[in-house]
Amino acid sequence: MATTLDIARGNPNAATLPGTQGLRPAPVAESVAEPEKPTLIGLTREDMAAALSGIGVPQKQLRMRVAQLWHWLYVRGVSDFAAMTNIAKDLRGLLAEHFLIARPQIISEQVSVDGTRKWLFQFPPRGAGRPVEVETVYIPEEGRGTLCVSSQVGCTLTCTFCHTGTQKLVRNLTSEEILSQILMARDRLGDFPDAETPQGAAVPSEGRLVSNIVMMGMGEPLYNFENVKTALLIASDGDGLSLSKRRITLSTSGVVPEIARTGDEIGCMLAISLHAVRDDLRDILVPINKKWNIKALLDACRAYPGLSNAKRITFEYVMLKGVNDSDADARELVRLLRGIPAKINLIPFNPWPGSEYECSDWERIEEFADIVNRAGYASPIRTPRGRDIFAACGQLKSASERMRKKDRDAAAQVAAG
């Protein structure tokens, strides 16, 4: 069987990191204990009503109380029941006694020379044996601010060009943990009412500071479908975070059975991590291709609910020197996508330590883009952002690992006394 070394020249400089401008030292973090109380963040309205009913809130008040909480959590962005001033003090005390709405812990915050921000957030163990960490990235641009959100701790897909793929899957993130990344970013940027934007922060000159969400962080979103669905439906709820579904993009490496469900049940924009035009190469770059090949993937794309020129699919294509960047590859890409309303994002490869790939030369990327453009497809070349803080596409990774069962059991015995 071919290996990546058969098709790509090694990069002896891959482990050389760019400058570390803008790095901030991480604060000392204490371990986060397993929460004893459930959270209200990430619950549907129905589940929130059931939770309130369970602590004695009268049935006739449930709809009103859920609406109040929804507003405070997702419009005002509060993380303390005491701040919910239109709720009676005794009820606020009851809520605080039974539920959590606190934010995750920030382990580190890094700011790139180009204004990109990367946060490392810590969440409770929830079956992993120890607290887990995920990375979230904010990319400010003129007219919009895009938040790259993680869906899993680690990843199972082992895409050979992706740094995240070198971290074994620890666990899925809950709907609360997915939403908390959005809430934390809005906190840190001053994007809630009455909050102030940090002095000197690079943000859009007008409008919402977090205007776009991309599920392109750590993990494969469609391997955590239910939690991702719940989180994104709450994020797009008009009475809460109120993000347009046209400004929410879910990126998948090709979990074909869940693609139609994404359109039917979430209704967001779709991005496909394609990266190759031949099955033999894609089997190596994106190993999930061995399960659902290019034809099966593109058939699912052609049937994506709501697909139109106004709702195009984005195909992501990382440019790897001498691997997938020839004129023939560009022409085959155009042929494969014929008839699919699409745009093609060409992504210069972002290096990481130990990678065997190199980024295509800029001239080669532009020639590739010209072929695609002449065929009638928009093919923007994505400007690398946050490379100096390892926040660029394909560079995210945390140090979290899942404890072995015997170690988790031993830790549990110690905690129990």
164, 411 contact by CB (below 8 A) = no
Distance linking the first and last C-alpha atoms of the chain: 53
Query: What is the dihedral angle through the alpha carbons of 167, 169, 171, 173, rounded to the nearest 10 degrees?
Result: 60
Q: How far is residue 163's CA from residue 150's CA, in Å, rounded to a whole number?
A: 14
What are the E-state strand segments in 115-177? 117-123, 132-141, 144-148, 152-153, 171-172
Q: How far is residue 310's CA from residue 330's CA, in Å, rounded to a whole number?
A: 24
DSSP β-bridge partners for residue 273 = 316
Query: What is the dihedral angle through the alpha carbons of 276, 277, 280, 281, rounded to the nearest 10 degrees?
Result: -20
Would you name the residues annotated as active-site residues? 135, 393
Instruction: Find, among 193, 228, 229, the residue nearest to 208 by Cα.
Output: 193
180, 119 contact by CB (below 8 A) = no
Coil, strand or helix: which one is 10? coil
Structure tokens at 200: 């000197």
Name the DSSP letter for residue 381: B
- Please tell me the total number of residues recorded for the chain in this structure: 417
